A and B are shown apart, each in its own frame.
Chain A
Amino acid sequence: MSKPHYDREHHVKKASGIGDPQCFKGEAPEAMFKVGDKVRIKDLPDLFYTRTQGYTRGAEATVTELVYESPPAEDESWDNTENVEWFYSVVFDMKELWPDYPDTFSSDTVETEIPEHYLEAC
């Protein structure tokens, strides 16, 4: 088996003076969702690596911001940065996530960021 060659400069070349995720700006296809949309988190198979938390799967949320474009962490983790997508900040009601959350504090919420391919309209 021969040794692979690693291009250790590709990220510094792309992002120097620009920043990350700024360096991926403009590379994603048109965003599928907009602020205010109700979305559901898809329970895609959690094989090997994910940054879409288990506790969000199958739950409904509201999009509050289109935060940036970036390769999803699941791809970036293997240095596959060709497929860039929009990331969304979404807000869940605590009651939606945790059935036993006390009614007294029913306005409490969780906000987190999810890449587009984990979202579906609802």
Chain B
Amino acid sequence: MSDDHDHEHEHIHPPAPMVDEVSEFEVLEIAVRELAIEKGLFTQEDHNQWTDYMHTLGPAPAARLVAKAWLDPEYKKLCVEDGVKASLDVNIDWVNTMPTKFGTPSDYCNLRVMEDTPTLKHVVVCTLCSCYPRPILGQSPEWYRTPNYRRRIVRWPRQVMAEFGLQLPEDVEIRVVDSNQKSRMIVLPVRPEGTEGWTEDQLAEIVTRDCLIGVAVPKPGVTNNAKRPVRKAVNPYKH
């Protein structure tokens, strides 16, 4: 479930003459997987099952959680008090949905929903690696994983957020949430003006992945992440 559907932007192609026919990465990946299977560490079926699980992931459930919270103050309270319980209402079971039945090994089972207010804006990072709430939000974007984002957002948040097109007034506290341990965070943004009387579907549509990370805020009529260049893969994975 790719969330960068918007392809009207610049594509960066790898410089063709510099790229070898088959890369060391591709060769090593095959070698590791085949050896692990030969030695009985896991099965091809295990690998396929996890791929199938990854295919179910994307930002839609998190967007729906936000839309529901906007429509129901009691649900919003639950989101803030117990993100794992609240996730069940959007069909995400942090413990049992995935093949392990103990959560995903990398994302654990402690979703924290960070509630924005008119004077508090959250933005999420993992300065140490790139921890991300995959079970409810899908795979992390490339920029989120960069040393650059991880270095700067925690010290110069307003500058970095401005680069993403988001500027906030002085009286708004920016809180950078560094998800460095077992919790995984999504942002519950403030419901924007101009959405009075909207349905849950309409509201969910404007809660983009970037809004859930915190580098954007929801706006009526904006249903995609902001346009930015897409670096093409040499041998792209197709779902």
Contact = CB atoms under 8 A, between A and B. Distances in A.
- Touch A–B, Cβ below 8 Å: yes
A34 B69 CA distance: 28
Contact of B174 (A22, A70, A108): A108
A89 B182 CA distance: 11
Interface residues of A, number: 37
A22 B100 CA distance: 15
B175 A109 contact: yes
Interface of B: 84, 94-96, 100-103, 108-110, 112, 127-128, 154-155, 157-158, 170-171, 173-183
A20 interface: yes
A55 interface: yes
Contact of A19 (B102, B176, B181): B102
A105 B158 contact: yes
A53 interface: yes
A51 B128 contact: yes
A25 B21 CA distance: 51
A96 B196 CA distance: 40
Q: Considering the complex of A and B, which 10 residue pairs feature the smallest CB-CB distances, nearest first? A: A19-B109, A15-B102, A19-B95, A112-B178, A107-B173, A113-B181, A108-B174, A109-B175, A110-B176, A111-B177
Nearest to B109: A19
Contacts of A107: 171, 173
Given A18-B95, A19-B94, A51-B128, A108 B102 contact: no
A28 interface: no
Contacts of A111: 175-178
A110 B122 CA distance: 9
Among A23, A89, A110, which residue has the most Cβ atoms of chain B within 10 A? A110
A67 interface: yes
Contacts of B175: 91, 108-111
A33 interface: no
B162 to A, nearest CB: 12
A15 B21 CA distance: 44
A29 interface: no
> Which of B95, B102, B183 is most buried by chain A, counting CB atoms within 10 A of its CB?
B102
A15 B104 CA distance: 11
A73 interface: yes
Interface in A1-60: 11-12, 15-23, 51-53, 55
Nearest to B114: A111
A20 B182 contact: yes
Nearest to A107: B173
A98 interface: yes
Contacts of A15: 102-103
12 contacts: A17-B101, A19-B84, A20-B108, A23-B102, A51-B128, A108-B158, A109-B173, A109-B175, A110-B154, A110-B177, A111-B175, A115-B181
